[in-house]
Structure 1
Amino acid sequence: MGVVTTEANRAAAAAGRTDSPVPYDCDVLVIGGGIVGLSTAYALTRSAPGTRVTVLEKEPGTARHQTGRNSGVIHSGIYYRPGSLKARFAVQGATEMVKFCAEHGIPHELTGKLIVATERAELPRLHALAQRGREHGIPVRELGPAQITAYEPHVRGLAALHVGTTGICDFGAVADTLARLARDAGATIRCGAEVTAIDRRTGRGVAVRTADGTVLRARTLVNCAGLHCDRIARLTGDDPRMRIVPFRGEYYELADERSFLVRGLVYPVPDPAFPFLGVHLTRGIDGAVHIGPNAVPALAREGYGWGTVRARELAGVLGYPGSWRIARRHWRYGAGELRRSLSRRAFTTAVRRLLPEAAPADLRPAPAGVRAQAVLPDGTLADDFLIREAPHTVHVLNAPSPAATASLPIGREIATRALTLLRASSPSGA
């Protein structure tokens, strides 16, 4: 990774760098208390017992953003390109997540899902998904219109795939369990600890200052900061060669008296030109039927509504060349998403492609989420996991869906990289 000299110098000064020998407060310092950061801490304590691990989370509690604001779906991995990290981690992670939930008493259910084609132009893509699923070893069954209604009586389509390994769970509860297990193994999790400066020196590890003035020194740093991962990377002095552009996912719920319209999980055939799955129907672990998400640009990294605007963050997005290249490339798609954001009737029209009986009065607003989408300078939306290493540092710069599903194998991968750096920097090399 490149070096941002001015940022590194400012961070070093703010962190109160000293040339005198100092003890390390921990071996591995993880920034970010979402499900990926917590899974990494858990994996570190299991892979190398005795390793001193500290997690810093800026919020008052863990899992307050992407982890705690999603549809709760355990994804099968059928959508993802063979050989990609997403495909490998999702297929493996789905099996592990179901087992983890069962072992720890976390609410979950293996429901299966339907991927439904509603137009003839989608049929070749549906067939290609079936082939991809078989390549991944995922059980898929191709259905005709009558078979669709056997699974979902109120859903209409020309054809569908039934994917048997998809399920639902409470990812917030998964994160809480990972935090508890990591603490039980000796890890420290500090909430309300926003990182404001980082000083990294060759051979001397990393010093991190938090907003309250606390300085922690670690041999190795892991950046799992999600919506703020690019900012953290720049604080270390690294050029992440990407920018987080936040997209808000807007959801509705079916009114209780109409929730019978959806039994399980129903998805459209995805558009391969855009990395979002489109408006889908998901009955969650709480029994509520979520409909969405509608993907629109957020006006802040934690902008869960149009009323949340942070001028500095918005200026950073607008000043980034990749943002304008996205807009030029996907303006038609984006215009449709904006229209559905501003009009419940337009949103309902999208829903009725799958669920013809839905009416605007059936939908009530539900909490939104924000996706930390990594965008490259040429406007490419990073589609796979993006993990980069630098001296004493592992940066997780893109952890899109299915990150929650795949959090256990992802955590092990990140932990392995961190431990390799840790051992290389120790005096004995052990």
Structure 2
Amino acid sequence: MVVVGGGIVGLSTAYALTRARPGVSVVVLEKEGGLAAHQTGRNSGVIHSGVYYRPGSLKARYATGGAAEMVEFCREQGVAHEVTGKLIVATAAEELPRLAALAERGRENGIPVTELDAAGIREFEPEVTGVAGLHLATTGICDFPAVARRYAELAREKGAELRLGTEVRSIVRRSDGVTVRTASGELRAGVLVNCAGLHSDRVARMAGDDPGVRIVPFRGEYYELAPHRRGLVRGLVYPVPDPAFPFLGVHLTRGIHGDVHVGPNAVPALAREGYDWRTVKLRDVAETVRFPGTWQIARRHWRYEVGELHRSLSKRAFTAAVRRLLPAVTEADLVPAAAGVRAQAVARDGSLLDDFAFAGFDPADPGSARRVVHVLNAPSPAATASLGIGREVARRALAALDAGG
């Protein structure tokens, strides 16, 4: 079994494979020199409760159970974590219907939700201003890169092999297996599992499959509060999200190491690993521009994106967005922090895939593609739900192995 991708989903899959079938041969290929180098290592570290996700969706199913499971894993494995709770704050009256809808959705998903007035908000966060809010007690924070490394260690203890600095160059599907070629040679396996994140669509095409989607990268740019101003925020504070766009807006996150992240915004990245405006890869830009879904996104969301670009290029505008939640903050309080890039899967009609998406072999469909399993979309809360996602991908991969003989 070959797993492509050494992020939290690929490593949780390797861990699940070695648990589900002791003795199975598992090799993880990661093109970077270290694990969890991209999405896993560049997020705000939040263990999401599942309040945002449509009841019955994979996101809702995996996140609501995954939050408690992740806390238990961190406790058992000695990974830094804390159950902090979270506030979602409405700053204007027009946001109240959306806040009420979120509260109802949370209850449908089985999440304890406490509705707050302005005074109730101040009890949790004295410096935060809003007209109403929700408190979610089950949200927490952890060190997700450390979780990923622990998955790797546990998988390695059961015989899995991790090959770093090993980029996949080509994939050949055969009736009896898959041949994966890298710069250092070739590897033959019964099944290939694609957990390549920002490059998942490319790996799918490399394997001979049309994924039906394209990864369009969006960069999330963060600031953090200067050390002497961290006391402005006690925990996690989020705005009421816009349901028309799959990003949560600028929020405040006290991390597991005491830092307070502010952000992110969401702007088009000029490379799949484009963590700043200076990083441009012509191949990545050309693929994005040629894809019809990109222009559909631009047509539907251009007003929203103009605002995001303005906040990217103007610290004053970014600060103004933050001040809606945290009036005491000033431009001088915000220090640039590392950015992240979200691997957003987009369909040809411009629709943004909101849920987890798998392709390749499906045990419920005997006619599905053999010898491969693809994870095509694993947005937040993938890290929170990584144990459950890993088990599901492992289930599909082992079924593919058994079906192939």
Give the alignment's TM-score, normalised by structure 1: 0.92
Q: Distance in 1 between matches of 2:207 and 2:5?
A: 15
**Does the 8 A contact of 2:214 with 2:346 survive in 1?**
yes
Q: Distance in 2 between matches of 1:325 and 1:233?
A: 23
Determine which of 120, 124, 132 is the counterpart of 1:159. 132
SS at match of 2:163: strand
Q: Distance in 2 between matches of 1:122 and 1:30?
A: 43
Query: What's 2:258 paired with?
Result: 287
Q: Where do 1:61-100 residues align within 5 Å?
A: 61-100=34-73
Counterpart amino acid of residue 329 in structure 1 = R
Counterpart amino acid of residue 216 in structure 2 = V
Counterpart amino acid of residue 401 in structure 1 = S
Query: What's 1:15 paired with?
Result: none
Query: What's 1:17 paired with?
Result: none
Counterpart amino acid of residue 148 in structure 1 = I
Counterpart amino acid of residue 149 in structure 2 = D
Q: Distance in 2 between matches of 1:30 and 1:284?
A: 30
What is the number of equivalent residue pairs in this alignment? Answer: 397
Query: What's 1:22 paired with?
Result: none
Counterpart amino acid of residue 89 in structure 2 = V
Counterpart amino acid of residue 354 in structure 1 = L
Query: What's 1:357 paired with?
Result: 328
Counterpart amino acid of residue 400 in structure 1 = P
Query: What's 1:210 paired with?
Result: 182
Determine which of 287, 290, 298 is the counterpart of 1:327. 298
SS at match of 1:331: helix
Query: What's 1:228 paired with?
Result: 199
SS at match of 2:60: helix
SS at match of 1:111: coil
1:136 deviation in Å?
A: 1.2
Counterpart amino acid of residue 356 in structure 1 = P
Query: What's 2:221 paired with?
Result: 250
Q: Distance in 1 between matches of 2:86 and 2:20?
A: 34
Q: Distance in 2 between matches of 1:368 and 1:94?
A: 24
Query: What's 1:11 paired with?
Result: none
Structure 1: gaps spanning 5 or more residues: 1-27
Query: What's 2:389 paired with?
Result: 410
Q: Distance in 2 between matches of 1:125 and 1:258?
A: 31
SS at match of 1:307: coil
SS at match of 1:125: helix
Give the alignment's TM-score, normalised by structure 2: 0.97
Q: Distance in 1 between matches of 2:34 and 2:126?
A: 41
Larger gyration radius, structure 1 or structure 2: 1
Query: What's 2:359 paired with?
Result: 388
Q: Distance in 1 between matches of 2:117 and 2:294?
A: 41
Counterpart amino acid of residue 138 in structure 1 = I
1:211 deviation in Å?
A: 2.2
Query: What's 1:7 paired with?
Result: none
Q: Distance in 1 between matches of 2:209 and 2:104?
A: 40
Query: What's 2:165 paired with?
Result: 192
Query: What's 1:51 paired with?
Result: 24
Query: What's 1:419 paired with?
Result: 398
Q: Distance in 2 between matches of 1:181 and 1:207?
A: 26
Query: What's 1:123 paired with?
Result: 96
Report the RMSD for the aligned CA atoms in angstroms: 0.6
Query: What's 2:365 paired with?
Result: none
SS at match of 2:222: strand
Determine which of 216, 219, 223 is the counterpart of 2:190. 219
1:290 deviation in Å?
A: 0.2
Q: Distance in 1 between matches of 2:285 and 2:167?
A: 20
Q: Distance in 1 between matches of 2:128 and 2:78?
A: 32
SS at match of 2:228: helix
Q: Distance in 2 between matches of 1:326 and 1:285?
A: 35
Q: Distance in 2 between matches of 1:288 and 1:424?
A: 49
Counterpart amino acid of residue 327 in structure 2 = P
SS at match of 1:239: coil
Query: What's 1:142 paired with?
Result: 115
Counterpart amino acid of residue 419 in structure 1 = L
1:135 deviation in Å?
A: 1.1
Structure 2: gaps spanning 5 or more residues: 361-368
Is 1:40 equivalent to 2:19 in the alignment?
Answer: no
Q: Distance in 1 between matches of 2:211 and 2:107?
A: 36
Q: Distance in 2 between matches of 1:355 and 1:119?
A: 14
State the identity as a percent.
Answer: 70
Q: Distance in 1 between matches of 2:118 and 2:65?
A: 31
**Does the 8 A contact of 2:370 with 2:404 survive in 1?**
no
1:80 deviation in Å?
A: 0.1
Determine which of 71, 77, 89 is the counterpart of 1:104. 77
Determine which of 325, 336, 342 is the counterpart of 1:371. 342
Deviations 1:319-343 (A, max 9, x none): 1110011000000000000000000
Query: What's 1:305 paired with?
Result: 276
